[in-house]
């Protein structure tokens, strides 16, 4: 096996081989950014409220959200959760006022299991509105035929309190 090296006739072939490169290769950076984007897209839905509630379906449009709302969840057995922590109806307003820092305009979403009695949901909403909170809304899941919005749940009209 024979081969020849073309040195260009001057013996200085090595001089031109390692020139400084004046451009940046952005392909590896783009690859890393796409992987991070996929990771955040997969993990973001898992960071929502951890209480499993089977919400009823609705075709209402989602509300525009400008601040982080507080979530009160009511499971099928009637147990109440503020964010992810279990609480009792009597302690609910005090805990909400502590978290909201006595701001009555703080948005509160009430999530009730679809198999739960309507009276229990209204009892919790009435307790919250009697505590001075004015922006209380019910959450429901979007039906399959409804247009997709920025959030997974749609809120009904804010409740003004229990009706009798």
Q: Would you kindly state where each structural domain of the chain is located, as residue ranges? A: 20-45, 50-155
Q: Which residue has the higher pLDDT, 37 or 62?
A: 37
Write down the pLDDT at residue 134.
82
37 pLDDT higher than 90: yes
Q: How far apart are CA 111 and CA 122, in angstroms?
A: 11
Write down the pLDDT at residue 158.
45
Say which CATH topology domain 50-155 has.
Answer: Nucleotidyltransferase; domain 5 (3.30.420)
Per-residue pLDDT reduced to its tens digit, 139-160:
877 776 655 444 444 444 444 4
Q: Cβ contacts of residue 84 below 8 Å, gap of 6+?
A: 49, 50, 51
Percent over 70 (pLDDT), the chain: 71
For residue 154, CA distances in Å to 28, 139, 140, 157 come to 40, 6, 5, 10
Beta bridge partners of 140: 154
CA proximity to 139, closest of 120, 153, 125, 121: 153
93 pLDDT higher than 60: yes
Per-residue pLDDT reduced to its tens digit, 39-50:
999 888 777 656
Q: What is the pTM of this model?
A: 0.49
Q: Which residue has the higher pLDDT, 102 or 1?
A: 102
Write down the pLDDT at residue 63.
60
Name residue, tokens 């209480």. 51
Q: CB of 115 within 8 A of CB of 77?
A: no
Name residue, tokens 């899941």. 141
111 pLDDT higher than 80: yes
Considering the chain, what is the average pLDDT of its residues? 75
103 pLDDT higher than 60: yes
Q: CB of 18 within 8 A of CB of 103?
A: no
- Burial of residue 12 (CB within 10 Å: 0-12, 13-18, 19+) is exposed
């Amino acid at each position: 096996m024979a081969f020849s090296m073309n040195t260009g006739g001057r013996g200085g072939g090595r001089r031109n081989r390692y020139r400084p490169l004046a451009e940046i290769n952005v392909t590896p950076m783009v690859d890393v950014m796409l992987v991070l984007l996929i990771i955040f897209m997969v993990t973001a839905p898992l960071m929502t409220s951890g209480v499993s509630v089977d919400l009823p379906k609705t075709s209402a449009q989602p509300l525009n959200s400008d601040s982080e709302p507080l979530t009160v969840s009511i499971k099928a057995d009637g147990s109440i959760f503020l964010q992810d922590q279990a609480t009792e109806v009597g302690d609910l307003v005090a805990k909400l006022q502590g978290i909201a820092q006595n701001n009555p305009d703080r948005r509160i979403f009430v999530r009730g299991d679809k198999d739960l009695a309507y009276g229990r949901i209204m009892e919790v909403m009435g307790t919250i509105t009697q505590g001075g909170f004015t922006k209380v809304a019910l959450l429901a899941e979007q039906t399959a035929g409804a247009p997709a919005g920025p959030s997974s749940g749609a809120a009904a009209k804010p409740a003004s309190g229990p009706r009798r």
